Amino acid sequence: MASLHVRVGRADRLSEFTTRPELRGTFGAVSSTHWLASSAGMALLEAGHTAFDAAVAAGFVLQVVEPHLNGPGGEVPIMVTPAGADEPVVICGQGGSPRRATPEAMRALGIDAIPGTGLLPACVPGAFGAWLTLLRDYGTAELDEVLAPAIHYAELGHPIVPRIARTIETMRDLFTTRWHSSAEVYLPGGSAPEAGRLLRNPQIAALYREIVRVAGTAETREQRIEAALGYWYEGPVAERIGAFCANEAVWDVSGRHHRGFLDADDLAGWRPAIERPVSASFAGHVIHKCGPWSQGPALLQALQILEGTDVASCEPAGERVVHLAVEASKLALADRDAWYGDDPHVPLEELLDADYAERRRALIGESASLELRPGGLPDRPTRFPSWAGSGSRPSPQAGIGEPTAPRSPLAADPAGEPRLDASGTQRGDTCQVSAVDRFGNMVTATPSGGWFQSSPVIPGLGFSLTTRGQMFWLEPGLASSLRPGTRPRTTLTPTTVFRDGTPYLALGTPGGDQQEQWQLLFLLRHLHHGIDLQAAIDMPAFHTDHLVSSFWPREVALGSVTVEGRFAPDAIDALRRRGHEITIADPWSEGRLSVVGRRLDGGTQVVMAAANPRGMQGYAVAR
C-alpha cells in the first residue's frame, strides 16, 4: 500500500481520513484477517445464528484460505461473552505436550532446544476441539452449516493472496526434496500457484465431508457435535496422526530426521479447558485476557504500569507515548519470560497487584532501558532462562521458533507475516476473528499453528501439525519448562473489554511477540483519546524486540524499536535522543488488528467493526 498521511480526530468529530470507515449497524458484525472468512461469518448471522456460530464458520474458513498462518492441526484460544454475562469465558484450544515428550527424551536424541519444524514440537491439535466446543455450548447452527464454507473453498478453491504464493515458492525446494506430501497439496502440477489463482485442498474437503457424514447419524445437534469430536480425538484422525508421527522420520531444522512423540493416546479424551479470564481495570474499563499459559496477562501488567503515568495526555502518535508504551512493554514482557507458563504456581495475583505495578513504573526513566529487567517478588526467586541472562544463545541449528525452513535471506516484514529473517528462515504467523450479533453476544479468537511451513502435510488429512511445543524450554525449573501434558506458553492472546459492566470490545491481532504491543497501542488511542476503531488501527504503529523472542533463534534486541515510516521525523529523532535503537519500517507494516464492538444508543444496540488495511487482506463486515 502506498504511503498515506492519516490525521485522526476524537470520537465527537469525524477523522479527516481513514483507509475505511468504522463500520456501524444494528444487526451484527464480523472482523477477521481474511475477507472470505468475514463473509462466511456474516452468512451465519444472516441465517439467524449467533456471533458464536459466525466465529466457528470463519475459523474453519481461515484454516483453508490462510494455510500459511493456521490450519486444522493448530490451536486457538477463544474468549466467549454471552449476552448479559458478567465476564467472558475462555475456551483454551491450546493442546498439551505429548506424555512421552520430556527434556530427557529430547536430549537422548541430541536435541538441546526443541526444533521449530518437523514432528518433535508437535502438541495435541486443539483448534478442532475448541471450535466445536464453542459451537456445542453457545451456538445454534448445525455442524454441516459451519463447515460448509470451508468445504466449499477447500474443494472448489480460493484465490490466493500474493503472500501465500510467495511463501509456497520459498518452500518449493523443501517440499520437492523432503516433504513430498506437502508438494502434493501446495505444488499442483509441480509448480507454485500464482497469486490470484485458485488453490484447492481436496484432502481437507474430503475429511470434513466424512466428519459431517459420520456425525450426521446421531439424533440430536449436541450428539452430532460430540460424534465429530470423537472422530477427531478418539477415531480415525487421531489414529492417522499417531501413525504418521510413529512411522515417518521427518527432516527438521536440526538438520536431521526425527519421528514424533505425539500419538493417538495423547489425543484420546482431550477436550479444551474452560476457564475464567484474568482481568484488570484501566481507564474506566475492565480488560479481560487468557491466563498465564498465554502472554495475555502481560497486556494487563503494561496497562497498570502506564495507568500512573501521563500517557493519557500524550499526543497519540507522539514520541512520548511511544517511549512510555515501549518501556512498559519491556517490563511486562520481561515478567512474562520469567514467570509465565502452564503452572499453577505462577504468582499472578502478585504480578497484577497495584503496588507491584507502582514499583515497576518507577523503573521507567526519560531514556531507553538497555537491560532485561524481570521483577522480583518476596520469597520467590526470579527464574529467567539462563542463556538470556548471560547473553548466550541456543545453537542456530536447533531451530527454535515459529515455522522455520532454511533458504536465502530476504528483507524482514515487521507485520509478522511469513518472511525470511536475517538468519534465512521462513516464518509463519497467526489469524484473528471477532464477532458480535444483534442479541448482544460477542466472541474473539486468535487461531494459529499447523502452518504448512511447520511440518509436512499428513497424507489423507491434508494438514500439518502444530509446532507450538517449540516454545517450551528444556532447561528445568522454569514455569514454561517442558513437562508432559502441559501447554506451551503461547503468544496467542485475544482481548475482551467491558465498559460499565457490559461487553464493549472484542479484538486481537496476529504478530507473535508483538500481539500485546499492538493491542496496547490500540487501547491507549481508543480509550484515552476516543479515536474510533478504524482510525486507531490506521494510525502509525510500532513495536520493540527488547524481549526474549518466543521463536527461533530466541534473540534479544536490546533497545530496539521498529516504527512505521509515517511517524513524524521529529518524533523519530526525539526517540533516538532518548537512546532507542530505531528501525524505520515500511509505512504500512505494523499490526493486523481485527475489532468488533457494541454500545447502546437510546436503548438500541449499535454494533461497530474495523479491520487492518495492512497487507490488503483483513476485512470487517457489518450491517
Side chain identity at 67, as an amino acid letter?
P
Question: Residue 113 has what pLDDT?
Answer: 87
pLDDT score, position 16:
63
Tell me how long the chain is.
Answer: 623
- The residues, any chain, with a CB within 8 Å of residue 218's CB and separated by 6 or more, are 224, 226, 227
Q: How far apart are CA 94 and CA 124, in angstroms?
A: 8
User: Between β-strands 581-585 and 594-601, what pairing exists: parallel, antiparallel or unpaired?
Assistant: unpaired
Q: Give the domain CATH number at 605.
A: 3.60.20.40
Residue-level pLDDT at 63: 98
Residue 29 domain-assigned?
Answer: yes
249 in any annotated domain: no
Per-residue pLDDT reduced to its tens digit, 61-106 = 999 999 999 999 999 999 999 999 999 999 999 999 999 999 999 9
Q: Count up the domains in the chain and report the number.
A: 1
Cβ-count burial 106-145 (b if 16+ within 10 Å, e if not) = beeeebebbbbbbbbbbbbbbbbbbbbbbbbebbebbbbb
Per-residue confidence (pLDDT) for residue 129, from 0 to 100: 98
Give the strand pairing for 560-564 and 581-585.
parallel
User: Would you say residue 39 lies in a domain?
Assistant: yes
Would you state the pLDDT for residue 379? 85
For residue 32, being part of any structural domain is answered with: yes
Q: What is the pLDDT of residue 64?
A: 98
Summarised one tens digit per residue, pLDDT across range 27-69 is 999 999 999 999 999 999 999 999 999 999 999 999 999 999 9
Residues lower than pLDDT 70 in the chain:
1-16, 387-428
Query: How do the residues of the chain divide into helix, strand and coil, expressed in percent and rounded to 5?
Result: 35, 15, 50
* Nearest residue to 134 (alpha-carbon basis) of 44, 66, 213: 44
Residue 566 is part of which domain span?
A: 23-113+265-276+393-452+469-622
pLDDT at 293: 98
Residue 291's contacts (CB-CB under 8 Å, 6 or more residues apart) are 90, 275, 277, 278, 297, 348
In a domain, 493, yes or no: yes
Answer yes or no: is 413 within a domain: yes
Q: Are 522 and 507 in contact (CB under 8 A)?
A: yes
Helix (H) or strand (E) holding 336: helix 319-339
Whether 319 is covered by a domain: the verdict is no
| Residue 549 within any structural domain of the chain | yes
Global confidence as pTM? 0.93
